[in-house]
Structure 1
Amino acid sequence: MAKKSSFNNYVSDYFDRNSSGRADLVAGDSFNSLGFKQKKTDVLELVEHHALRLKSDTDSLKICDVGCNDGAFIEYLLGIQAEIDLYGVDVSRKALAKAKANSNLDKVSFDLVDGESGDLPFADETFDIITSIEVIEHVEDKDKMLSEIYRILKPGGVVVLTTPNKESVALNLQVFLVGFIRYCFGKKGHKDIFIDEKGFEELYKKVGFLCEKKDILYWIRPYLTISYSTYTLGLLLPFMLPVPSIFLLYYQRMLNKYFGRFFKTRLITRFFCWSIFVVLRK
């Protein structure tokens, strides 16, 4: 039997140790909670739009959240105004145990995924809609993940997927800083292999997906943060000045509301957008 890779082993162990992370973000009111909730709201709007488009009079829609963790996002999906059957899969046993213990999710089917094989436990062409929010960066074999999603998606179905943008200046500074701190304390292992827009486009085209959402760079963030619990130390680029979390809350809301329209050139969006946000169709 093939030996489990150190990366896959670290990822599953990490999410076992942090199995309540998403639920804490949903319940919290910190700067990081703002980003989580806004992204989930935007994803939910797209999922609901496609659910209403795809629904039929006879069959309920099947929706799967790949990398569901403790089911926090699936709770959002419960509000969709259509007949749906919900499923969730994850590599973390402890996160899935928390999801199954949530009485709000007692009608949701949860399954464990073997992070080494990457096989999803479903038949071909099972789902109408698949979501995968901030997951693919934790997967070593990204080709396999997208191929499996393609396999279990029905023809005409859609995938809504987000992941951090590898070219983001703030993300790269944050990764360097966190990596340096971990090195100083003798910490080993990592859970992220990021991808840029071009690399991601090559991946999904190779699998056979069509991109429905063209403007896929998302969430302008020209600063980095170092967070502990609900406290966030923000460093504004290029001045590197520490600012309190509450300031970042208002600052990010202002960026979202007023300045997104000015960041449309490819050069700026490549380096200052934190996330890739893509809608794919089979």
Structure 2
Amino acid sequence: MVNDYKKYELFGKPMMQRIDLTAPFKFDFPVAEQACFLYVLKGEFQYQVDDEEIGIPTDYALFLNCITSGKQIHNTKLEGNCQIVIVTFYPDILKKIYDRELPSLLQKPKNVISNKSNEKINNDFLIKKYVEGLLFYFENPSLVNEDILILKLKEIVLLLAQSQNADSIQLILSQLFSPTTYSFKQIIEANLFSQLTIEQLAEQNNLSVSSFKREFAKLYNDTPASYIKNKKLEKAAELLLISDERITDIAFDCGFNDLATFTKSFSDKYHSTPTNYRQDRKGK
């Protein structure tokens, strides 16, 4: 649950944000050409990377590349507050404010050894003081202008370049300058078998729910719910025949929350239970 939210925009895009959340919560990042520096003022949040869950406690930070889908921070505790400051890096804005030459942190590393997309930043005194400075501007909005925001963005770039995490951050930031544009269809296809809601998919596309549904209907000639459910069921039918996975596991792999819902939906579409479907067709 979001208790309080403040932001300042630079060239029409959110650059500085302060968010006060009450657990349990989840906060999604849209698929976009941007990177985010998330600093925890109070509480903690978790970030899922493949099979590993990274905890980010008070006075620590997470540097995150949002180019790929599925970026989400969360806290599943039943109580507790989490306050976060976010500074967002956009390649077009960085190019604009560094009109002559990008600083070394934003240039491509000579030796690219991985496609690392996140970095946990340990308690850093200078970065902590920088964030405290940002809080002053959140409390005094009349002092904020374009020049101040540019100055604060350049300041965090300098501090991150001097941190012990500089190499990893350089690798993440350099990925922003490789042209990658994610179309509406690419975002849909990337999330077909997730458990994202229609509202979350709309947010991933930076659209309102009504605009998202209209765009979806134009491209797919179907509603989002109907199309996505059919795709999940088609994938499940395929897995039933080509794998020996348990039916429960297939249901979850295809984005269904429970076996009963999956079985009913599958039976409605194929006029057969998943078990019978597998037995009948494998027996032929």
Structure whose CA Rg is larger: 2
**Structure having greater relative contact order (Cα 8 Å, sep ≥ 6):** 1
Give the alignment's TM-score, normalised by structure 1.
0.26
Give the alignment's TM-score, normalised by structure 2.
0.26
